[in-house]
Amino acid sequence: MKITQDEEVGNVCRHFVFQPGDGTCYDCIMTPDPYGGFLINVNTTSVWRWYPEDYLKFLCGNNNEFTRKAVFDFLENYECPYPWATPSTINN
């Protein structure tokens, strides 16, 4: 796994680019969803709702199982250093 970019944008979202090692690259923007979980915009072609330690739900755009698995695996295994992006923030 190679993370080529990771930045906090205006204390409201995270922007990260990662390569899972299979030749693909994902450019993602993550922001808290007022309805629970986090909204994940992937490559500006699809939007997903992530519930940490649970699942990644497709909302709109290109529904691709390879994308879902790669992004979910990344999110579940990536330790974000910002408190708003932790499971405890969502479950309160």
In this predicted model, what pLDDT tens digit does every residue of 53-77 receive, in sequence order? 888 999 999 999 999 999 999 988 8
Kindly report the pTM of this predicted structure. Answer: 0.77
Measured between its terminal Cα atoms, the distance across the chain in Å is: 31
- For 63-70, the CB contacts below 8 A with 24+ separation are 66/24, 67/26, 67/42, 67/43, 70/20, 70/22, 70/24, 70/26
Confidence of residue 41 (pLDDT cuts 50, 70, 90): very high
Given a cut of 60, is residue 19 above it in pLDDT?
yes
C-alpha 3: how far from chain center: 13
Classify residue 54 by its DSSP letter: T
Partners of 16 in the beta sheet? 6, 28
Question: How high is the pLDDT of residue 92?
Answer: 40
Question: How high is the pLDDT of residue 37?
Answer: 87
Higher pLDDT, 1 or 48: 48
